[in-house]
Amino acid sequence: MTHYPSEILPKPHFTGRITLDASDQGLYFIRGSSLPFHQLFLENQELSVDKIVSPTEEMARERGLSMSLLGIYKSEYIRIKVRDARYHEAWTPGESVPPATDIEVEERESYPLFLSFQSLWKKPFPYNEISDVSGFPAGHGFSDFEHCPTLCNYWHFVFALKKSDGTWITKEEVRPIKKQIKQFLRTYLLHGIQDTCVRHESLSEGRYTS
Q: Is it the case that residue 131 has pLDDT exceeding 80?
A: no
Question: Is residue 206 included in any domain, yes or no?
Answer: no
Question: Is residue 87 included in any domain, yes or no?
Answer: yes
Question: Is residue 73 included in any domain, yes or no?
Answer: yes
Letter for the amino acid at 176? Answer: P
Print the domain residue range for 73.
6-201
Q: Which of 106, 116, 146 has its CA nearest to residue 27?
A: 116
Mean pLDDT (the chain, rounded): 85
Q: What total of structural domains would you count in the chain?
A: 1
- Alpha-carbon distance of 173 to 38, in angstroms, equals 32
Question: Is residue 208 included in any domain, yes or no?
Answer: no
Question: Is residue 167 included in any domain, yes or no?
Answer: yes
What's the predicted TM-score (pTM) here?
0.88
3-state secondary structure 83-108: CCHHHHCECCCCCCCCCHHHCCEEEC
Question: Is residue 183 included in any domain, yes or no?
Answer: yes
pLDDT single digits (tens) 154-196? 999 999 998 888 888 888 888 778 888 888 888 888 778 887 8
Q: How confident is the model at residue 108 (pLDDT cuts 50, 70, 90)?
A: very high
Question: Is residue 210 included in any domain, yes or no?
Answer: no
